[in-house]
Structure 1
Amino acid sequence: MLFNSYEYIFLFLPAVWLLYIFLQSFRLVSAAMVWLVLASLFFYGYWNPAYLPLILFSLVINFVIGKGLEKKRSKPLLVFGIIINLGLLAYYKYAGFFLETIHQLSGLNMPVVNIVLPLAISFYTFQQIAFLVDVYRGDTVPYNLLDYALFVTFFPQLIAGPIVQQKEMIPQFRRAGSRLFGEHLNRGLFLFFIGLFKKAAVADSFAIWANDGFSRPEQLTFVESWITSLAYTFQLYFDFSGYCDMAIGAALLFNIRLPINFDSPYQALTIQDFWKRWHMTLNRFLTNYLYIPLGGSRHGIIRPYTNILIVFLLSGIWHGAGWTFILWGFMHGAASVVYRLWKRYGFRLHRSLAWCITFLFVNAAWVFFRADSISDALFILKRMLSVHHLNLTMITGHLPEIITLLIFLWICLAASNSNRLITEPILPARTIIIAAAASVLSLLFLNRVSEFLYFQF
């Protein structure tokens, strides 16, 4: 069931919300939590009921290990829990890629493995690894099985994040819903429909241009290669931004605040600033549970840069089982190292030049992220550099696309982040009008329902 589907918007979400507020109105907090768990499991099983046992197994085994770590902070038990989680993720997500790579490198006949990736496994695996580490560190709040089940399965953020921490969610689940009809409801609806507009009207429109270009890289002209790369850059931006808005908005309807996960990343002036704005909770996870345990910025000069490369390589692998994702991760790791060296030696760039370099690098890296192969990505990048082929006919023939891309680039740079709009004490009339218009326009595009891009990760 997709956030941007009629079933979710007009059936599932209203039904779950109505019974939830009914239970909360009588202060039946535990019953309301049970209802949310059951609704979340239905939401997950709606995609493919065959994977319900997997998420339930993962939930129960991590709960048991967590309780064991509460009684005794045993490092071997923590390592065992992490291995269990990574083992499940490795089998379902990387077994096929691993065997195919061995076959390509060695020529050995490896068995064909056709494993369908269970939805959300990357997200709930990382979330539960963070939970186990937090329990080991003594950085959790008291919880029972019901608390933990809702923490893992809460449907607004189950499929593609944000990746949340136990201590920031369980106290909210246990809070009575006294403000359900107040500001959270208004702000939740505003965010949800703004996000729906970003996904249905904007991202899916850019997807048409991006899909066309990436399907025929060898036929692209100089202008078409730029239209293709930028179309995907904006598709991914509005797709993920829209998902984050809809997730936070849906959670607010239940009086739950999810952490902000997206903060206008194309306004970043450095690659480090970009990663503080893009998928912010994944960056938090990688920093707190990988970069710092590896030694962080301690232990000399070389070690921190090595740690950065390791973190970004693993980030690339986490996003997808393919060499294009690994190269994308390496590119961002290398860029982060270069930026830190640049900063270390006191170099400075004008803000405009700094933004231009950062944006062009991110756009080029997204080509690898999207392309079917490294060779396809290199071909597109080669065409993007073939400026000597540019002529007036190319420009005039694609003038509508060029103008549209420039308009949305301006929007990315000038518009306020939607999460900042809801911090105002009272939503102004213009904001409410924008949300209403966005909701109406979005519904007109629901006939072309498509998955969010981050669902594949």
Structure 2
Amino acid sequence: MLFNSYPFIFLFLPIALIGYFALGRLGHLAPVVWLALASLAFYAASGWPFVALLLASIAFNYLIGWLLVARRLSGHLRLIVLTAGVSGDLIVLGYFKYAGFLAANLNSLFATGLTVNVLLPVGISFYTFTQIAFLVDAYRGHVARYALPHYALFVTYFPHLIAGPILHHKDMIPQFEAVESKSPNPHLILCGLMIFAIGLFKKTGLADGIQPLVALAFGPNTPSFDQAWIGALAYTFQLYFDFSGYSDMAIGISLMFGIFLPLNFNSPYKATSIIDFWRRWHMTLSQFLRNYLYIPLGGNRHGHVMRYVNLMITMALGGLWHGAAWTFVAWGALHGLYLCINHAWTYFVPAVAPRFARAANIAALIVTFLAVVLAWVFFRADNIASALSILTRMTDPTQIVFSRGEMADAVFVLIYAAIAWFAPNTQAIMGYDHANRTVGETLGAWSKRPAFLYVSAAVLAFGILGIQQHSEFIYFRF
């Protein structure tokens, strides 16, 4: 089931909200169970054959977590239990996500005839990483003992389940345990509806609207110089508004239930460095990779060379997390190289004089953006050869057409660029503060006026009118 669909907006979400708040009068556990069951129903609509796998994953990880938290195990036994838990998660993820990729590469290298046809369960990367973080924290002694219904809801919570953010137990489970979150809050419901409406419009109006231009670079025909750039930029902004839209919709839906989700997207194309970009793009994945991969590998504790090695390993594996293809590995490795260059630059190159700071920031923003665009070519291309072909066209201005149609397309792309660079993002408009659990503070008294409701309804209507066909989020299958 998709957020940008009529069944979700007009059937599932209202029923889930009504049941949640109606059961809230019976105590804090009944609405938790209801919301967990609703989340399973939501998941079943997207991939019902894998509900049993999701439930088995929850039971397995809860048991491992219970052994690490509730049982007084020796240090050696604790490490064995953690290793078993994380290994079990990775084996399941590896089988469903990478078995076909491994077989294809073995066939290519050794001319074997391996055939693997495995359907990828929806959201398996997200709920697996969420639970791995839980187990590692349990081993480190950072986890309290949680009831099974709260843990199950933490894993299955439907606003995050299919495309993130990657949730953290310390942030989410206390909110599920709080009694006051089970009664309807008109302010949170209205602000959540507005954020959801903005996200829906980003998806159906902006992301889906520019999607046809992507084929100029990534279609069956060899692009010209201008077509390659227009197509690559179109995909850059399609992915931006698609992921931004999903992130907004997830936050908005969760707010209606009185639950604050962590930010996962913060105007990444306004970044002035690749380091800054990864603090803004898929923020919860960046935090996971830093806390549970980069730092355990050694981080920056063993000198510059090992820091760069750890960055490359982390980002290459982060790329592979996105999909079982060498294009994703190349994309991750390229960002790892970018990060190495960025860290070396900040260490070895003197700071810019204050009088040149503004010009330097503008130059840094442009360079960062172009580096990100070039990397997205690998992310979107069907294979490495296709990506290299497109990049070759993008560096060959002798192959230029720039007809009237391309000129109109270029103007269209520039409008998207202006929105991404100069418009305030949703959290700035709505005053969403996850850390302090507040929203709508920037709106002041206007949020209490009927006009706010009218504007919310208008934005929501535009988003709903844009729903014309089945259009999955790009991160839906990661």
Q: Does 1:435 align with 2:445?
A: no
Correspondence 1:205-216 to 2 at 5 A: 205-211=209-215, 213-216=217-220
Deviation sequence 1:295-319 (CA, Å, 0-9, x none): 1110122111111001000001100
Are 1:157 and 2:157 an aligned pair? no
1:92-138 deviation digits (Å, cap 9, x = unpaired): 0000100110111122x232101010000000000000000111111
Distance in 1, Cα, partners of 2:204 & 2:15: 23
Task: Choose 209-218 or 328-337, whichever is displaced more.
Answer: 209-218
User: Residue 376 of structure 2 aligns with which residue?
Assistant: 366
> Could you tell me how far apart the structure 2 residues matched to 1:417 and 1:141 are?
35
The 8 Å contact of residues 124 and 158 in structure 1, kept in 2 or not, is answered as: yes
5+ unaligned residues in a row in structure 1: which ranges?
none
**Contact 1:270–1:358 (CA<8 Å) still a contact in 2?**
yes
Match of residue 52 from structure 2: 53
| Shift in CA distance, 410/342, structure 1 to aligned 2, threshold 3 Å | same
- Letter of the structure 1 residue corresponding to residue 107 of structure 2: H
Partner of 2:27: 28
1:320-339 superposed matches below 5 A? 320-339=323-342
Match of 1:403 among 407, 411, 418: 411
Structure 1 residue aligned with 2:434: none
State the SS of the aligned residue for 2:468: helix
DSSP 3-state at the match of 1:146: helix
Residues 180-216 of structure 1, C-alpha deviations (whole Å, 9 max, x = no match) = 2232112110111100000011101111211453122
| Stretch deviating more after TM superposition (270-279 or 205-214) | 205-214
Query: Per-residue deviation at 1:54?
Result: 0.4
Of 336, 348, 354, which residue of structure 1 is paired with 2:364?
A: 354
**Aligned position for 1:37:** 36
State the partner residue of 2:185: 181
The equivalent residue for 1:143 is: 146
Q: C-alpha distance in 2, partners of 1:356/1:212?
A: 23
1:321 Cα shift?
0.4
- Supply the AA of the counterpart residue of 2:45: Y
Map of 1:195 onto structure 2:
199
Aligned to 2:12: 12
Preserved CA contact (<8 Å) 2:216 2:227: no
**Amino acid aligned to 2:284:** T
Deviations 1:60-118 (A, max 9, x none): 000000000012360111011010000000000000100110111122x2321010100
* Partner Cα distance (1:101, 1:266) in 2: 35
Contact 1:141/1:166 (CA < 8 Å) preserved in 2? no
**Which has the larger displacement, 336-345 or 412-421?**
412-421
Alignment of 1:62-101 (within 5 A): 62-70=61-69, 71=71, 72=73, 74-101=78-105
Q: Which residue of 1 aligns with 2:436?
A: none
> Which residue does 1:120 correspond to in 2?
123
Distance in 2 of aligned mates of 1:238 and 1:217: 26
* Structure 2: distance between partners of 1:347 and 1:204: 43
1:95 is paired with a residue whose SS is helix
- The one-letter code matched in structure 2 to 1:76 is I
CA shift for structure 1 position 432: 5.4
For 2:21 and 2:231, locate their aligned partners in 1 and report how far apart those are by CA, in whole Å.
46
| Contact in 2 for aligned 1:62/1:81 (Cα 8 Å) | yes
**Equivalent residue number for residue 234 of structure 2:** 231
Relative to 1, partners in 2 of residues 1:225 and 1:432: Cα closer, same or farther, differing over 3 Å? farther
Whole-angstrom distance in 1 between the partners of 2:411 and 2:32: 49
| 1:217 and 1:380 in contact (8 A); partners too | no
CA displacement, residues 265-303 of structure 1 (integer Å, 9 cap, x when unaligned): 000000000000000000000001011111111012211
User: Normalization by structure 2: what TM-score?
Assistant: 0.92
Q: Is the 8 A contact 1:223 1:395 kept in 2?
A: no
Deviation for aligned residue 1:178: 6.2
C-alpha separation in 2, matches of 1:179 and 1:399: 53
CA distance, structure 1, for counterparts of residue 91 and residue 123 of structure 2: 15
1:287 aligns with 2:290: yes
SS at match of 2:31: helix
AA in 1 matched with 2:371: F
The 1:346/1:27 distance shift into structure 2, 3 A limit, reads farther
Pairwise CA distance, 1:436: 2.9
Q: Which residue of 1 aligns with 2:357?
A: none
Matches of 1:41 and 1:387, distance apart in 2: 52
CA contact (8 A) 2:299 2:307 kept: yes
AA in 2 matched with 1:442: G
Equivalent pairs, count:
452
- Provide the rounded CA distance (Å) in 1 between the counterparts of 2:463 and 2:430: 20
Residues in 2 aligned to 1:312 and 1:46: alpha-carbon distance in whole angstroms = 33
- Spell out, residue by residue over 1:132-178, the C-alpha distance to the aligned partner (whole angstroms, 9 max, x if none): 01111111233111111001001111111111111111110111236
Please report how far the alpha carbon of residue 438 of structure 1 lies from its aligned counterpart in structure 2 after TM superposition.
2.0
**Residues 126-135 or 343-352, more deviating:** 343-352
Contact 2:21 2:182 in 1 (8 A): no
SS of residue in 1 equivalent to 2:441 = coil
Q: TM-score, normalised by structure 1?
A: 0.96
Percent identical: 46
Once residues 430 and 313 of structure 2 are traced to their aligned partners in structure 1, the CA distance between those partners, rounded to angstroms, is: 37
What residue is the counterpart of 2:109 in the other structure? 105
Question: Secondary structure of the residue that 1:301 maps to in structure 2?
Answer: helix
Alpha carbons of structure 1 residues 372 and 217: separation in structure 2 relative to 1, 3 Å: farther
Give secondary structure in 2 for the equivalent of 1:277.
coil
Decide which moves more: 141-150 or 279-288.
141-150
Distance in 2, matches of 1:444 and 1:167, equals: 38
Q: Which runs of 5+ in 2 are unaligned?
A: 353-359, 432-439
Q: Residue 254 of structure 1: which of 250, 254, 257 is its match?
A: 257
